[in-house]
Structure 1
Amino acid sequence: MPTLAIIGGSGFTKLEALEIVRREVVHTPYGEPSAPLTHGMFGGKKVVFLPRHGTAHTIPPHKVNYRANIWALKHIGVKRIVGVAAVGGIGPEMAPGVIAIPNQIIDYTYGRDHTYFENDLSHVTHIDFTEPYSESLRQRLLAAAESSNVTIVSHGVYGATQGPRLETAMEINRLEREGCSLVGMTGMPETALARELDLDYACCAVVANWAAGRGDGPITMMEIEKHIGIGMSRVVCLIAALVSSSDKDG
């Protein structure tokens, strides 16, 4: 079974160059995942791919069944997950088109099913979330970027907002004051749920636009789609290098 999964975000609903072997429908105690799991060969290694927003990109960030997605991947034997996400850039180094591998996250979401530990418990469980991302997987991504000559920002603080609307300029000012250098809508509870199930999880963030108030004029879908296209093509190179460097079980 594949031990590495890629969760694709906006602009990344399919993994180019993936030789599809089969699609698997997984039913979970938490409902249905965003789409069937796509098993395939990528760079000669087994991987599984799941589009976070559904195959046709119809599920908004606040309606994604994060619990079902992560549970399904754990159920089939996945051990490591790379979550690809389109984000807005807040910090000066996070210009559109940049790829960042964040090392911290701040959760501003609400009303989402954010934990597996809530019903029929034999004891209360608290996960250590001091370092939200798997450092070992982050380092593998950084090494993959170096080997594939993909320029990245090796750190960042991801501010996870509710969506589906974009933020106001003053909200972005607040996020910046609180330490965020990136803003997106899908980072939580995905990251925490992976930790609850003891999965290694890292985020590969593609900056699609300057966040509100950071660029010149309003944010347009034309701008977002342009930079997503550029960034995602480089993400494919990065993932290819990551897969090729995987050990025998990955």
Structure 2
Amino acid sequence: MQRLILFFAAGSSLVMGIAQAQAQAQAQAQAPVRGAVIGQLLDESGKPLANAEVTARYQSNPGGVSLSRTARTDHHGRYRIEVRQPLGVWTVHATVTLMAEGTPMRVAMTPDNAAPFAGNMGAVRNFRLRFADRTVDDPYGVGGMLVVAAAVGDYTPLDEVTVSLEPVGGGAAIERSLRSTGEGWVVTGLRPQQYQVTARHRGRPMLVSAALTPHRDYDWRSAYVGGFERTSPGIYQMRVEVRSR
């Protein structure tokens, strides 16, 4: 019995020692490094994001000197950027490129701490992939944007229209009311994938088509299936028009 107790105690000490070593290694990995900014990038499920782009930016005012330094994350989602010189205040930003039906979509990542920091002191800045319909810094949020217009000759009030977006590859459907922005009536913060789009006005189904262009006529259907197109740097849109039946 005494040998069993001793063995159990030794085994417990070993487990505790391993746990403490792991905790210490994690703490060291997340400790600020003087003259450098370090951190880790994770996807929505908490898995490391490899080959994502992280940029440290320096801006002096007065003086007008600005520069940036960029790094890529390793297979653990970690990065390190030297920011010791020039002396001053730095900020960090991160993006990841996702594929949506063969189309690359560059998405900004959300920092756990967006505060500027002194480069010579160093900092830890971790990022997470989060889609949001709007943020403090961007009224269009993070992700793709559905832009909805009324068809030519249709006068349905778009503030009374709701749309449903069902992911073609599976997943929970998204149902939203449209909101008015400088881009028109939109739904924002959408993941980069194809969707089946339907629309209703006060509960009544509407017809949906890809937006009219000089090269494309209407094709009215009860649902429209499509993905996002890059309309300008960092902006990805799916444009449709709706009309009453």
Common topology (TM > 0.5): no
Normalised to the residue count of structure 2, the TM-score between the two structures is 0.25
More helix by share: 1
More strand by share: 2
Bigger Cα Rg: 2
Normalised to the residue count of structure 1, the TM-score between the two structures is 0.24
Which gives a bigger RCO, structure 1 or 2 (Cα 8 Å, sep 6+)?
1
